[in-house]
Amino acid sequence: MKYRRRRKTNWPLMIGGTVAILTTMAGLGYAAFQTYGKPVPDRYGCFDGVSGTQTHVLIDASEPRFDADQQRALLRYFKQAYDRLAFGDRIAVYTTEGDQQASVLSPRFHICGPAREPDQLTAIGADTGSQGYLKKQRQRLYEKRFLPELQDVLSDDPVDEHRQTSQSPILEMVADLSRMPSVRPGAKIVLASDLVMNSDSAQFCQVQNDMPPFALFAKRRVYQERLKPRSLEGVQVDVLMLLRPSYGPFCRDEDEIRRFWIDYFRANGVMEPRVIRIRHGLGG
């Protein structure tokens, strides 16, 4: 009859492993306790209750879309805008993409300016780090969040649900933006578009007399009842005008379109709307 040898328990090893597990759990618990109740940003760097300058970006994603030169120019503009963000400043991006068309305007995505100084986070009770650490975090937020979202919007080959073949209701969308509480003196609107409005309200350059001089357009019932925004007094406006080789049978040139929009913004309270020409490439 064979007897099994009783396996000797390695008590020191078991005790050491148990202590290690308990120590790890205690460390995690302490870390959780330390951060419990502290403000934390969302995945786009925004803290609840921390608010600065509001920038509302409206990107016209209708066909024709953006050629390579225009993509680079727009990415450069928005990188500079991101670099200027102070702590708590917010950029919200709206588009005319197919899945974004709705009766209630809402941003496709947003981004907030991260803290530059440790004291800014200390002041709100959030975890902080060195100035070098915060600089790396700012760059990481741009590379991991803001840049990929922009590249997706500016893609020359969007997924089907984002593709917009016809509708470009930019006057309606500016009017909707003007009614948001955050669009007030000190805020900024950025409009990136070829400025060829196309909706059931008007079809610029495609239908004769749909884009007369703004002084005449403003008298129309459709403008007074549907397209006129609330006052934009005190709001800064940048128009990133995407140039096209041609605009349609009923627009002479870019100057005619640009004049309409400058007059439109001035009539609605904008002191000096800035128009930046975004040129198309040789193949555009």
pLDDT of amino acid 47: 96
- CATH number of the domain at 246, please: 3.40.50
Same domain, yes or no: 17 and 103 = no
Q: What amino acid is encoded at 267 in this protein? A: A
Pair 238, 196 in one domain: yes
Structure confidence by residue, pLDDT tens digits, 182-234: 999 999 999 999 999 999 999 999 999 999 999 999 999 999 999 999 999 99
pLDDT-derived band at 280 (thresholds 50, 70, 90) equals: confident
Three-state secondary-structure class, residue 241: strand
b/e code 211-237 from CB counts within 10 Å (16+ = b): beebeebbebeebeeebbbeebeebbb
Q: What single-letter DSSP state applies at residue 223?
A: I
- Pairwise pLDDT comparison (158 vs 267), residue with the higher score: 267
Q: Where does residue 10 rank: exposed (0-12), middle (13-18), buried (19+ CB within 10 A)?
A: exposed
- Give percent of the chain above pLDDT 70: 81
Do 23 and 58 share a structural domain?
no
Residues 170 and 162: their CA atoms lie apart, in Å, by 17
For 92, the enclosing helix (H) or strand (E) is strand 90-95
pLDDT band at 32 (very low <50, low <70, confident <90, very high): very low
| Residues sharing a CB contact under 8 Å with residue 250, sequence separation 6 or more, in sequence order | 205, 206, 207, 208, 209, 210, 211
Q: What is the mean pLDDT of the chain?
A: 87
Both 105 and 219 in one domain: the answer is: yes
Q: Is 278 exposed, middle or buried (0-12, 13-18, 19+ CB in 10 A)?
A: buried
In a domain, 45, yes or no: no
User: Which residues does residue 8 pair with via DSSP β-bridges, in sequence order?
Assistant: none
Q: What is the pLDDT of residue 10?
A: 59
The predicted structure's pLDDT at residue 161 = 57
Contact (Cβ atoms closer than 8 angstroms) between residue 137 and residue 205: no
Q: pLDDT value at position 61?
A: 87
36 and 131 share a domain?
no
> Is 184 found in the same domain as 159?
yes
Q: Contact 166/157 with Cβ under 8 angstroms?
A: no
pLDDT at 265 over 90: yes
- Res. 3 pLDDT band, cuts 50 70 90: very low
In this predicted structure, the answer to whether residue 178 has a pLDDT above a threshold of 90 is yes
What does the chain come to in residues? 284
Assess whether 205 and 245 both reside in one domain. Answer: yes
In a domain, 254, yes or no: yes
SS3 assignment, position 94: strand
Give the pLDDT mean for 113-137.
95
In this predicted structure, which of 13-22, 54-63, 119-128 has the lowest mean pLDDT?
Answer: 13-22
Same domain for 28 and 150: no
Q: pTM for the whole thing?
A: 0.84
Q: Which two tokens stand for residue 57?
A: 């970006």
- Let me know if 273 is exposed, middle or buried by CB neighbors in 10 A (0-12, 13-18, 19+): buried
* Residue type at 205 in one-letter notation: C
Looking at the domain assignment, is residue 94 inside a domain?
A: yes
Sheet of 109-112, strand order: 109-112, 90-95, 54-59, 188-193, 236-242, 274-278
65 lies in some domain: yes
Q: Domain containing 24: what range?
A: 11-40
Task: Based on the fold, state whether residues 153 and 16 are members of the same structural domain.
Answer: no
DSSP, collapsed to helix, strand or coil, labels residue 67 as: coil
Residue among 82, 92, 148, 144 nearest 113 (CA): 82
| pLDDT exceeds cutoff 80 at 129 | yes
70 touches 242 (CB < 8 A): yes
Instruction: Specify if 158 maps to a domain.
Output: yes
Average pLDDT estimate for 161-189 = 87
Q: Is residue 210 part of a domain?
A: yes
Residues 149, 251 within the same domain: yes
CA 126 to CA 122: how far, in whole Å?
6
Tell me: do 26 and 114 sit in the same domain: no
- Tell me: do 19 and 69 sit in the same domain: no
| 284 in a structural domain | no
Note whether residue 245 is domain-resident: yes
| Domain count of the fold of the chain | 2
Q: What is the mean pLDDT of residues 158-186?
A: 83
